[in-house]
Amino acid sequence: MPTYTVKTSNIKLNRIKKNKIAKGITATHNKITGANSYFAQVIFEENEKNSHYMGGKIVKDKQIFLHGQIRAGRTPRTKNKLIIALRNSITKNSGIKKDNTWVYLLDLSPKQMIEYGEILPKSGKEISWFNSLTKSLQIKLKKIDK
């Protein structure tokens, strides 16, 4: 359900840092929302050198951005906890300063999302959605969730 895109500017993350960041984002989303970990996707993208501008000027310092597309239906309190916890996880696992860390969350209606080939359920209806999947997909997702 959530797809998190980590974009970096003026920094290359090695595989170890990417693993830490991805695990941190996944654990944070799971802990705050209760969603199964197999729903959390993390995708990394790097900006090319001299491709990041602010105020019309090239940005030279290290920056990290997290764009999260999450399923609508969470309370403002939950989303506030989530965004703060995501920022803290990113800064801890990337080494980028808090003031160079950007986090954006975007709510999407479950009816406008397909994952694993099926339209997503409303929040709280995950079990019946999961049970409607093929047995082989259920097995695959249970392995990811461990």
Q: Per-residue pLDDT tens for 115-125?
A: 889 898 887 78
Closest alpha carbon to 133 in 145, 121, 146: 121
User: Does residue 126 have a pLDDT over 90?
Assistant: no
How far, in Å, CA of 69 to CA of 49, rounded?
26
Which domains, and CATH codes, for the chain? 3-145 (3.30.429.10)
Query: What mean pLDDT, rounded, does the chain reach?
Result: 93
Q: 6 vs 97, 112, 141, CA distance in Å?
A: 15, 22, 23
User: Does residue 110 have a pLDDT over 90?
Assistant: no
More confident site: 125 or 98: 98
Which residues in the chain belong to E strands, given as ranges?
Answer: 3-9, 41-46, 53-54, 57-58, 63-71, 101-108, 114-115, 118-119
pTM (2 d.p.): 0.89
Contact between residue 122 and residue 110 where contact means Cβ atoms under 8 Å apart? yes
